[in-house]
Structure 1
Amino acid sequence: MRPRDETADRPALEGVLVVVPARDEQDVVGDCLSGLDEAAAVVSAEGLPVVVCVVRHRCTDGTGDLVDGFVEGAEARASTGWVVADSDAETLGEARAEGVLSALVHPVLGSLDPATVWVACTDADSRVPSTWLAVQRELADSGLDLVLGAVEPVDDGSAAVGFWRAHHSVEGHRGLHAASLGTRLSAYHQAGGFPATDVGEDAQLVHAIRHGAGLPWTSTHLAPVVTSSRRCGRRWRGRQQHGLATFLHRLDTALGTFGGSPELQGRLREEVLRLAKGRGAEKTLCPSEAAGAVDPSRRQELTHLARAVACTLADEGLVEVTQQGVVVDGRRAVGPVRVRLVPPPPG
């Protein structure tokens, strides 16, 4: 993997493709599309054409009709290109990949060199800020092939969301979120595109770009995307949203049990870093080990809080959260995770 922020000789962008899958999101999809419309307008005004592809993924509610109505109005008042695709794909990764292919049929993008096309990705339960694409464009034009953005949940007044929002990402964070990432189309192709999986399709694509292809990348806390903080829903059990919903539910429980004591959080933080530094970047630790080091008698109950602390350390760029050697978003990942020190740059 190339060092973070190392750049290469890359052409300036000539087009942007935004893909957003939408499945049963009738309550929030309008807000999502409004945010994308505003972000696209910013870079379109500077001469960079944008095509937004909304993938209606096996919808059973009014999402599809709302998308159609919004796109009809957006096309009438702006220069942004809009594509609506219907997908019966079994997995979210396939739906995202179909969105990329559908957008590339648009005449604005069809004839461009893949090295000059930027693929930005978000989710239908999220709202991007107006500067979202402008920030990615600036970084891409500096010679990067991948940009990892930051995400924060809607403030619902809960302890779990308060904990998350109290810890902000920085430049150099090690977080990874499908709701805010972008890559050059040439890098996307080189990495094989989004894999056919429901959970971690973003992590696998990023891993293939950074480690498999060894392409230059960066992360940024600028222009954070606001995403849903719902705990559970009637859809997608065991899938991506269930991972984040479960994380927040368990964090609510842990904070309800132990409280939001800065002292306890500080002790968990110290133990995660101590164990990670002791093992180096080649070995990993389980958050439960840090929990056990703080209070052996309540190791199990403290484990989820230790996992949350590890995620905040990833936001600070100090550790990476992984599953089977692949860096993941520890808040969305389903199942156990591991933590490791950030590897030093090669050479």
Structure 2
Amino acid sequence: MPLHPGPGLLDAVVAIPVRDEADHLPACLEALAQQQQSAGLAVLLLLNDCRDGSAGIARRWAASAGIPVLLQEVRLPPAARHVGEARGQALDAAALWLEACGPSSSGEALLLTTDADSRVAPDWLQANRRALGAGADAVAGFVEYDLAAAPDLPPALAARLQAQARYAALLARIDSLADAEPHDPWPRHRMASGASLALTLAAYRRIGGLPRLPVGEDRALAAAVQAAGLRLRHAPEVRVATSCRRLGRAAGGAAATLARWQAEPELTGDPQLEAPGAAWRRAVLRGQARAAHARGGLAGLAPLLGLEAAILDPLQGPPFAAAWQEVERRSLRLAARAVPPALLPSAMLAAQALILRRGGVQAWR
């Protein structure tokens, strides 16, 4: 049974979907138990048709954790047996728990989520709270693969993961030089991973909850936050380590991607890891479109965006992020193409040169 804090004493709930995670769950839970300044924190574990020892591990930890813990055991129907539904149900239950406890005495109620095969840093909760206190409505943390805990990881795959992380940091620097956002200043990153997402309860209700997608529900949540005109902070100080397993629980998820890269090393990765020149042009166009949207004249950029003015006119009304998402969806000119793995070293050199030419410093990593 969960511990029930009194009214106003609970202001942050971490929602975690769990399915057969006995190997990783103890480290995940121990990291949560070690959080600094954890007053007001609770944990909700949604145990999704677990058939290993995960439920027992969760019950034993709940009995000794010293913080409120709520366990929910479910068996999702086949059509909804995916991480989007499981994480969504966990977050929905966490939101109801926060609301049942009444208004918080310490400020805005906070929903967080991580993965059962991940370990949050000791200051994870504290760093999320600082970012939200600085004006963000939602926070995407920085997630790193735990290479040290994966001795069986092929060296070539480990090198690729490290190179992609360094390159992503360079592209984030390019973004900040070409299209700086006041609420998401440098240093920042570009990811939105279910291993580290946080948002206010009010923001979660405003976007209607987590999009129930079989894959990519984390990025969809971030996109929904931005499309609603809310402020998303990509905070590099909010850190999480996640496993490098290649046999995962979600079809098409991170583990499946690593397995494909191991089997076929030349497969391209995330389309967001595009060539530096393309990333610069995209960010410049986004900045121009942002300014035009604020002036009420987005349709004037039709030739640059490769779209008809009739398509852009209706996009003047929604928040800019929603309009830009639609522009990227419709414009063939803005279709992203990932740099092939073999070309990552030269792409990194080109990105560094571009950053220096534009007056920027190196990436934060």
Tell me if both proteins adopt one fold, taking TM over 0.5 as the criterion.
yes
- SS of 1:72's equivalent in the other structure is helix
Pair 277,165 (structure 1): closer, same or farther in 2 beyond 3 Å: closer
**Structure 2 equivalent of residue 249 of structure 1:** 259
Aligned residues: CA RMSD:
3.4
Amino acid at match of 2:337: P
Q: Quote the Cα distance in structure 1 between the aligned partners of 2:342 and 2:264.
A: 6
**Structure 1 equivalent of residue 26 of structure 2:** 30
**Structure 2 equivalent of residue 43 of structure 1:** 37
Q: Quote the Cα distance in structure 2 between the aligned partners of 1:62 and 1:200.
A: 27
Partner residue of 1:225 out of 214, 217, 240? 240
Q: Quote the Cα distance in structure 2 between the aligned partners of 1:310 and 1:250.
A: 22
Confirm or deny that 1:208 pairs with 2:208. Answer: no
Q: Quote the Cα distance in structure 1 between the aligned partners of 2:92 and 2:44.
A: 9
The alpha carbon displacement at 1:106 in A equals 4.4
- SS of 2:275's equivalent in the other structure is helix
**Structure 2 equivalent of residue 294 of structure 1:** none
**Structure 2 equivalent of residue 52 of structure 1:** 43
After TM superposition, the structure 1 = structure 2 runs for residues 1-347 of structure 1, keeping only pairs within 5 Å, are 15-39=11-35, 42-44=36-38, 48-74=39-65, 78=66, 80-89=67-76, 90=80, 91-104=82-95, 106=97, 110-112=101-103, 116-155=108-147, 156=150, 157=153, 158-165=155-162, 167-168=165-166, 169=169, 171-211=187-227, 213-233=228-248, 235-236=249-250, 238=251, 242-252=252-262, 272-278=275-281, 280-281=285-286, 282=305, 283-287=333-337, 290=339, 302=340
- Whether the 8 Å CA contact 1:152–1:165 is kept in 2: the answer is no
Return 117-126 or 54-63, whichever deviates more. Answer: 54-63
- Whether the 8 Å CA contact 1:87–1:95 is kept in 2: the answer is no
The alpha carbon displacement at 1:81 in A equals 1.1
1:78-106 Cα shifts (integer Å, max 9, x gaps):
2x211111222323223223223433454
Pair 104,19 (structure 1): closer, same or farther in 2 beyond 3 Å: same
Which ranges of structure 2 fall in alignment gaps of 5 or more residues? 1-8, 173-186, 268-272, 287-304, 306-332, 356-365
Amino acid at match of 1:285: A
Q: Quote the Cα distance in structure 1 between the aligned partners of 2:71 and 2:92.
A: 12
- Whether the 8 Å CA contact 1:49–1:108 is kept in 2: the answer is no
The alpha carbon displacement at 1:165 in A equals 3.2
Query: How many aligned residue pairs are there?
Result: 262
Amino acid at match of 1:217: L
Pair 26,107 (structure 1): closer, same or farther in 2 beyond 3 Å: same
- Whether the 8 Å CA contact 1:118–1:182 is kept in 2: the answer is yes
The alpha carbon displacement at 1:61 in A equals 1.5
Amino acid at match of 1:221: P
The alpha carbon displacement at 1:59 in A equals 1.2
Pair 107,143 (structure 1): closer, same or farther in 2 beyond 3 Å: closer
Pair 286,100 (structure 1): closer, same or farther in 2 beyond 3 Å: closer
State the TM-score, normalized to the length of structure 2: 0.63
Amino acid at match of 1:81: P
The alpha carbon displacement at 1:66 in A equals 1.0
- SS of 1:275's equivalent in the other structure is helix
Pair 108,197 (structure 1): closer, same or farther in 2 beyond 3 Å: closer
- Whether the 8 Å CA contact 2:189–2:235 is kept in 1: the answer is yes
Q: Quote the Cα distance in structure 2 between the aligned partners of 1:306 and 1:87.
A: 45
1:140-189 Cα shifts (integer Å, max 9, x gaps):
11221011111111213532233323535573211111101100110011
State the TM-score, normalized to the length of structure 1: 0.66
- SS of 1:162's equivalent in the other structure is helix
Amino acid at match of 2:75: D
Q: Quote the Cα distance in structure 2 between the aligned partners of 1:82 and 1:310.
A: 46
The alpha carbon displacement at 1:249 in A equals 3.2
- SS of 1:175's equivalent in the other structure is coil
The alpha carbon displacement at 1:308 in A equals 11
- SS of 1:123's equivalent in the other structure is coil
The share of aligned pairs that are identical, in percent, is 29
Pair 206,64 (structure 1): closer, same or farther in 2 beyond 3 Å: same
- Whether the 8 Å CA contact 1:144–1:217 is kept in 2: the answer is yes
**Structure 2 equivalent of residue 332 of structure 1:** none
Amino acid at match of 1:135: A
- SS of 1:54's equivalent in the other structure is strand
The alpha carbon displacement at 1:209 in A equals 0.9
Q: Quote the Cα distance in structure 2 between the aligned partners of 1:119 and 1:56.
A: 18
1:77-134 Cα shifts (integer Å, max 9, x gaps):
x2x2111112223232232232234334547962126971111110001111111000
1:288-320 Cα shifts (integer Å, max 9, x gaps):
6x5xxxxxxxxxxx4x66699999x99xxx9xx
- Whether the 8 Å CA contact 2:137–2:203 is kept in 1: the answer is yes
Pair 94,23 (structure 1): closer, same or farther in 2 beyond 3 Å: same
